[in-house]
């Protein structure tokens, strides 16, 4: 056991640049310092790669249930409401857990939180594969899966950025970490959709659990411990006091902005297949290039290059400016969406949706990086927890409000869908205004 721990420290020291490039060569002290600096940057990039791969592997179960929802609804004899409860339970568990777990990183080493969450993801993934038998068991398992995901996501990002010294590399690390999340979400659709029809859904989730176990091993080896204690260490009583964050306008600007951003993105994700099906049934789907579910998969993958592009643009034009431009364009695109479908048909709106989903995520890395940069001193964990929790609260409300509007006005005309999507654009703009007023 001690030998294994020493091996982990050796691997981690190599990745973080400790213990190598230390010698003074022919160039003297200055050359040795330059060599050590370049080696440290290179090794920190390897550290970023290892943690991002682990994050992707741990996310392979994210959309597995929703991808196979028709199968579960039939096999377990679920009502639509029960199927929806199971689908939402992981986000409910995430929303409840993330403020607490992220706040704990203000006092405790984020590595401990990440490892606990990664272990919970492994357990719940195996539990769903072999013990889920119906509504109650699936509801509970997916809820705890969401809590495990909460313990790995933002605490993992904090552990990563605290281990990096260079500000530009820190910003790019945030981008790649968020891209790894989007990659895992997109691949989870592909994994479930390809394995389950051939080998069955239990084996598909068994594969997901095995990848989660590999992610835990990578987190154990590579997630760095905190190198120095925080400047301000809150007491346990103050740890969950969110008033300093709520009073801090620059941080709250991006927290509210994230709520509007997630409201818009998840409302589009939730209703795009239904909207595409409506357009196809209206007579323009006969020459469709892709099925609605294929368009949804492609749109999920579009978030990856969009996030990468957004990270580079943020480094060039500034995070706040990118957030303001990205949110404004995506809100305008959401308003135009039903008119594109009604006027140009299925294939045009399918392409438009893929582009729109990319625009919806182009500001995501800048939004998160801005929150980290503007968090009150000693309250970064609490700020990140509120940022993510309120974001997923918007993710709950957005799809529901669209459904309420469609129930109220109908869903058989372009005007009906225009009113429904207008609620999404309004919510997005409500998140845009605080960033314009208080963001920096």
Q: What mean pLDDT do residues 210-225 have?
A: 94
**What's the rounded Cα separation, in Å, for the pair 37 and 333?**
45
pLDDT for the residue numbered 121: 96
* CATH number, span 1-236: 1.20.1250.20
**What's the rounded Cα separation, in Å, for the pair 419 and 297?**
25
Q: What mean pLDDT do residues 345-372 have?
A: 84
Residue 299 pLDDT grade (very low, low, confident, very high; cuts 50, 70, 90) = confident
Residue 307: alpha-carbon gap to chain centroid: 11
Annotated domain spans of the chain? 1-236, 242-440
**Count of all residues that appear for the chain in the document:** 440
Topology agreement, domain 1-236 and domain 242-440: yes
Q: What mean pLDDT do residues 79-102 have?
A: 77
Residue 75 pLDDT grade (very low, low, confident, very high; cuts 50, 70, 90) = very high
For residue 345, pLDDT over 90 is answered with no
Q: What mean pLDDT do residues 234-241 have?
A: 63
pLDDT digit string, tens, across residues 361-407: 888 778 877 887 777 776 676 777 778 778 877 777 777 777 778 77
Class of domain 242-440: mainly alpha
**What's the rounded Cα separation, in Å, for the pair 350 and 100?**
40
**What's the rounded Cα separation, in Å, for the pair 232 and 106?**
8
Q: What mean pLDDT do residues 166-176 have?
A: 80
The SS3 of residue 82 is helix
**What's the rounded Cα separation, in Å, for the pair 181 and 183?**
5
Q: Output b/e per residue, 226-256; b: 16+ Cβ within 10 A.
A: beeebeeebeeebbeeeebbeebebbbbbbb
Phi first, then psi: give them for residue 107, nearest 5 degrees. -115, -35
Q: What mean pLDDT do residues 215-227 have?
A: 90
Residue 120 pLDDT grade (very low, low, confident, very high; cuts 50, 70, 90) = very high
């Amino acid at each position: 056991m001690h030998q294994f721990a020493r091996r982990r420290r050796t691997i981690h020291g190599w990745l973080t640049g400790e213990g190598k490039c230390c010698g003074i060569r022919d160039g003297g002290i200055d050359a040795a310092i330059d060599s050590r600096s370049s080696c440290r940057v290179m090794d920190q990039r390897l550290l970023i790669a290892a943690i991002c791969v682990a994050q992707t592997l741990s996310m392979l179960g994210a959309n597995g249930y929703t991808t196979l929802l028709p199968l579960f609804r039939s096999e377990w004899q679920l009502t639509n409401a029960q199927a929806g409860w199971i689908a939402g339970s992981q986000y409910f568990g995430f929303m409840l857990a993330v403020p607490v777990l992220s706040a704990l990183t203000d006092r405790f080493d984020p590595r401990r939180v990440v490892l606990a969450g990664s272990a919970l993801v492994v357990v719940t993934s195996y539990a769903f594969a072999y013990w889920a038998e119906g509504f109650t068991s699936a509801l509970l398992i997916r809820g705890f899966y969401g809590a495990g995901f909460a313990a790995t996501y933002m605490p993992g990002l904090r552990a990563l950025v605290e281990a990096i010294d260079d500000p530009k590399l820190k910003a790019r690390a945030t981008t790649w970490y968020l891209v790894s999340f989007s990659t895992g979400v997109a691949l989870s659709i592909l994994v479930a959709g390809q394995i389950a029809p051939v080998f069955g859904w239990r084996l598909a989730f068994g594969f997901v659990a095995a990848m989660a176990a590999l992610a835990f091993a990578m987190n154990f080896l590579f997630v760095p411990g905190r190198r120095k204690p925080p400047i301000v260490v809150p007491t346990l009583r103050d740890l969950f006091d969110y008033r300093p964050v709520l009073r801090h306008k620059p941080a709250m600007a991006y927290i509210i902005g994230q709520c509007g951003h997630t409201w818009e993105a998840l409302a589009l994700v939730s209703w795009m297949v239904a909207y595409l099906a409506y357009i196809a049934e209206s007579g323009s789907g006969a020459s469709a290039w892709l099925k609605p579910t294929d368009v949804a998969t492609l749109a999920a993958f579009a978030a990856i290059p969009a996030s990468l592009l957004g990270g580079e643009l943020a480094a060039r034009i500034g995070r706040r400016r990118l957030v303001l431009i990205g949110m404004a364009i995506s809100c305008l695109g959401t308003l135009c969406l039903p008119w594109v479908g009604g006027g140009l048909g299925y294939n045009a709106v399918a392409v438009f949706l893929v582009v729109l989903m990319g625009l919806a995520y182009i500001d995501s890395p800048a939004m998160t990086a801005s929150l980290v940069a503007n968090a009150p001193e000693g309250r970064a964990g609490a700020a990140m927890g509120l940022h993510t929790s309120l974001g997923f609260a918007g993710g709950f409300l957005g799809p529901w409000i669209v459904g309420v509007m469609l129930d109220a006005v109908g869903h058989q005309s372009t005007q009906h869908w225009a009113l429904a999507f207008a609620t999404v654009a309004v919510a997005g703009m409500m998140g845009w205004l605080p960033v314009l007023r208080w963001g920096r």
